[in-house]
Structure 1
């Protein structure tokens, strides 16, 4: 390594080699720093180390994670923006370079290329991809960090090791309320949305728990992470008010508004690092990619491309909430993995005009922040105790309807009044007859003709189910589906199909 500095290693061998060299101590940062501030080498690497020292002197602990520099501001971790960083680099423009080997001195000159190189070296030196991965479970508020454990909530001082990235602009008074007082705007919103619903309490509890999952940073850390789907076919049912309520209570730096379809776009995903809450006013009509949707909900490590920046890899942590009037299909079918990721909260009541309050969501955040927080903390205690969201009895019907639209083939297979899955190779039916049954079933359940696949697509979907008890094979009588019987809508078939005549 004689005659080479860290900048030479970066240029010739790349970032990984430089990071390894720094880790192994091949370059001594202390030896490159001089109390008199004169530069000894004049390389980008030397300036980068000087800038890091200056940043630490000004901001204390700093790190680089998920594509950004961060510093601890005594209440939460805050991005150290490029605007904040550049003056620390520019101060070395024109700095005297006095080599220790007696060579002639010179001045350090700053250019766009050099600045980019210094910034890149700073990121390499401070990079910690998992810095925020194990953030503490709690809610950061103005008067401290609300720690939730052992069925209790208590306030402790803000600490850097909590790894929080925002502060809820409210002071907690130590109270918890599962049901907001009747004279509050929050109660008005909840009661107005779910009046007359037999499962109104469960719906209200689930909404508080979803908000808690976002604030606690548990969106992807639950045993069974789910996206909340606020579903109501009519307008004016209040679901948009809850979306607005949850958005406005949080710092915009930890919120985003990606649709389910945009989760499949690697450029759009670049906005998700550090986001605790992602909301969208509509799921959209186009098909949702099953794989990227499930990955975002469960926090699978993913890559994203930032505009004009290097690609990043991160683990999403957002709780997703989508409001919708329609139920879009999933491009790869609505398999069990997708079903496990959906928590539907039905909004059935259209709120009469005379009951509506303009800007109700904003008014609650402005006038009742403590009540809102107390309601959410009650949800947080339930969420952690249950390790999941409160179940809503009426949601099952909506989920079945969605499956019929999104994956009608699997919905037909799961209808026990039509199909009996035996898993036996002695039970089989011709694909042609199965498709006839499927089409009759589609008419019975009221499926739109546009959502009914052709026979070829029907057969392909059966084959892609990856079930050990069902398969499509070719026999003398044609293509058949092994492992099922039809219980009604059955055509007269060859006796070798093993089916009862319908």
Structure 2
């Protein structure tokens, strides 16, 4: 059918269905920004243009609220899967047939797009919803060259399409598991990623600058760069909700970058053909008409031809011959010939120009011209120029031994290698930038010039896509002063706080048999709030989820992690915090998830307390100078056992918030991707629920402590201190053996015998025993008293009670 799109699209439009043109014989849309038609119909002008320009193209339907359609696209020929789908889902009257599977049409009911894959990443099926499109018959299949087929015309059964169940993804996943499929978590329900307007605009400026550079390098023409920018924009629109980015502004900025680099201080040359097929009207509209032939590169032969003609028109003694040579040198200086061609041209000028200028003088003059206004003889001057390049895209600072740029919503870390590449490519021909050591020196000078803390405000808060939520509940505009190094990819929506039924049902079920269930849920809410707010160090506790296997610990950790973007999370186990390199990973993080605690490696008590409390600690990037940080992240652990340490102080025990999980999930009820479902469906609501704990934290200045926490900490203290365990088991009565105060020697003998009988209690030396007993005096309510025995040796007696005197001991 010659006019495939033109023949069928009007019928869809008349029913309010946004049919869109696809490339002839292909699946991809022939237009930019087609995703907008998920929510609206094309205008009459757009329809007319499409019918004219894409009459022969394939036809697709933009799915979502405007069309009222969502599609289940099945990509397997397994008959068991086909039968399963026909059994568990409502009957769809429309089925598009494919080589392996089929597509079913349903009434759009707000589902998010999701994809179900096997463990080897092969797609089994996907639900196509808003911001997606599907090829419909009689479009031509790109592989077979034959028309797509369906059992009936979609328009004939449009009003009969049934909706899918709300939990269709769970139904499908669980059913496929029962059929024996091993599924991947990849491709799970696609989250709507919200990006702050300022960050989107800033990113568009960066992209515009990158594409301007590709034009200058001759990799693409201006129109090809425009097409690539539009492609970038389309990809962003597909993943990002909220106000759309005006891509035309980005194209204008790309043109501005081009004009600035060519006609400004950099005086760069454009490659021949950069403006291919670019109309004069478009050049004028974008301000590109200021770029002339003088701003375009010449080949070595063109340089010779031009200079030969210019010199041939002048007498040998005419001083203007020097001017012509200088013009030629200026053009050569602004572009990069290979060394051989450059030397050949300079020797040819020296031999034929009749100006008396030597080859050596020409080389020196060429070097001066390439330096431009930047002499480039010291690192400071070059560092300032590189910083100016970086500032084109936002403010730049140097903190924590790294460079950071303001994106419009948060500070983003710059990669050192990218800056080195910029120095090498744009300034590597300058005298002070030719060696690798020069590049390192320039980078150090840059750091000194913009060294400044990221945080200029003491305001504590959460950096959402729609603003900065302060501790007192104010939603403020994004500001570099807050020092945020992340931006949550979603909005703060307090009205959703009571709309996380799956999450709350999960917590109530996991702790259903626990007497302190309300306090556990409250404590978890507070811990999540403190983590998001970046205030966990003030509360001086690490969060430990401990208990039996398959009890829900890992799902809670996954949910907590899923609320934050990757750049706000680290994974550094506590037994490595004493290393000088590992803790540098805490920089800019809100959450540190270490997962399962080691059963064999001990936690170093002093550094653990420093990190959890957010005290200043020295850290270091490998190959860099050391510096100090104050970790602001919360530390969450999930474990089947309690922490191990040689620190027997009460200070270590007080640095934990322990939430116990005692009820395993039956094997038949285990759902490995449950956390993914929670995040996909209730992310914003769970966050809003967590933030409801903020007023309580402000009022209490501490977490709510469940009764089971105290029991777990007591067990942890006993396991880490055999002396404490001994005293707890024997009681203070052991201090009065034979109705008299017990000496340290007697008590140590009793303690050693106890450890031998207990089997799992490791005895310590007498010296350690004495120290630990002194630390436990207040815990168990006794007094250690030192006095001389009859032989003049110092002996410690232990007296029941905390106010005993030496006389009482005697």
- So what's the TM-score if we normalise by structure 2? 0.49
CA drift of 1:257 comes to: 1.3
> Highest Rg: 1 or 2?
2
CA-to-aligned-CA distance 1:127-185 (integer Å, 9 cap, x gap)? 23x43385531111111112231xxx2422212112111111222223263x665xx32
CA drift of 1:469 comes to: 5.7
1:200 matched residue in structure 2: 517
Q: Separation in 1 of the partners of 2:706 and 2:400? A: 36
Instruction: Confirm or deny that 1:372 pairs with 2:679.
Output: no
Which stretch of the first structure deviates more once superposed, 454-463 or 113-122?
454-463
CA drift of 1:227 comes to: 0.6
Instruction: Confirm or deny that 1:287 pairs with 2:612.
Output: no
1:80 matched residue in structure 2: 414
> Given the alignment, which residue of 405, 413, 421 partners 1:71?
405
1:94 matched residue in structure 2: 429
CA-to-aligned-CA distance 1:264-322 (integer Å, 9 cap, x gap)? 21121121211211112222122211101001101111112322222222111111111
Q: Separation in 2 of the partners of 1:55 and 1:68? A: 14
Q: Separation in 2 of the partners of 1:131 and 1:243? A: 29
Higher RCO by CA contacts (8 Å cutoff, separation 6 or greater): 1
Instruction: Confirm or deny that 1:122 pairs with 2:446.
Output: yes
Q: Separation in 2 of the partners of 1:228 and 1:213? A: 11
Q: Separation in 2 of the partners of 1:133 and 1:287? A: 38
CA drift of 1:88 comes to: 3.8
CA-to-aligned-CA distance 1:225-257 (integer Å, 9 cap, x gap)? 11111111x201111111111122212222111
Instruction: Confirm or deny that 1:298 pairs with 2:609.
Output: no
CA-to-aligned-CA distance 1:449-472 (integer Å, 9 cap, x gap)? 343335454235446779896466
Aligned residue for 1:172, secondary structure, equals coil
> Given the alignment, which residue of 463, 485, 494 partners 1:174?
494
- Change in Cα spacing, 1:463 to 1:360, as seen in structure 2 (3 Å) is same
Q: Separation in 1 of the partners of 2:491 and 2:532? A: 15
Q: Separation in 2 of the partners of 1:246 and 1:436? A: 49
User: Is this contact kept in 2: 1:429–1:480, CA < 8 A?
Assistant: no
What RMSD, in angstroms, separates the aligned Cα atoms of the two structures?
Answer: 3.3
1:44-443 aligned within 5 A: 44-56=379-391, 58-90=392-424, 91-95=426-430, 107-128=431-452, 130-132=453-455, 136-149=459-472, 153-175=473-495, 177=497, 181=500, 184-220=501-537, 222=538, 224-232=539-547, 234-285=548-599, 286-333=601-648, 335-410=649-724, 412=726, 417-418=731-732, 429-439=742-752
Q: Separation in 1 of the partners of 2:442 and 2:654? A: 46
- Change in Cα spacing, 1:148 to 1:328, as seen in structure 2 (3 Å) is closer
Aligned residue for 2:487, secondary structure, equals coil
CA drift of 1:439 comes to: 4.9
CA-to-aligned-CA distance 1:366-406 (integer Å, 9 cap, x gap)? 22112111111112332233222111112111111111111
User: Is this contact kept in 2: 1:263–1:269, CA < 8 A?
Assistant: yes
- Change in Cα spacing, 1:180 to 1:202, as seen in structure 2 (3 Å) is farther
Q: Separation in 2 of the partners of 1:410 and 1:461? A: 8
Question: Aligned residues, how many?
Answer: 430
User: Is this contact kept in 2: 1:135–1:164, CA < 8 A?
Assistant: no
Aligned residue for 1:451, secondary structure, equals coil
Q: Separation in 2 of the partners of 1:317 and 1:196? A: 35
1:481-496 aligned within 5 A: 481-482=796-797, 484-485=799-800
- Change in Cα spacing, 1:464 to 1:124, as seen in structure 2 (3 Å) is farther
Q: What runs of 5+ residues in structure 2 fail to find an aligned partner?
A: 1-263, 267-371
User: Is this contact kept in 1: 2:551–2:662, CA < 8 A?
Assistant: yes
- Change in Cα spacing, 1:398 to 1:419, as seen in structure 2 (3 Å) is farther
User: Is this contact kept in 1: 2:400–2:627, CA < 8 A?
Assistant: yes
CA drift of 1:109 comes to: 4.0
User: Is this contact kept in 1: 2:454–2:481, CA < 8 A?
Assistant: no
User: Is this contact kept in 1: 2:546–2:658, CA < 8 A?
Assistant: yes
Aligned residue for 1:195, secondary structure, equals coil
- Change in Cα spacing, 1:133 to 1:452, as seen in structure 2 (3 Å) is farther
Q: Separation in 2 of the partners of 1:447 and 1:72? A: 60
CA drift of 1:186 comes to: 1.0
- Change in Cα spacing, 1:88 to 1:174, as seen in structure 2 (3 Å) is same
- Change in Cα spacing, 1:387 to 1:464, as seen in structure 2 (3 Å) is closer
Q: What runs of 5+ residues in structure 1 fail to find an aligned partner?
A: 1-33, 96-106, 488-494
Q: Separation in 2 of the partners of 1:198 and 1:479? A: 50
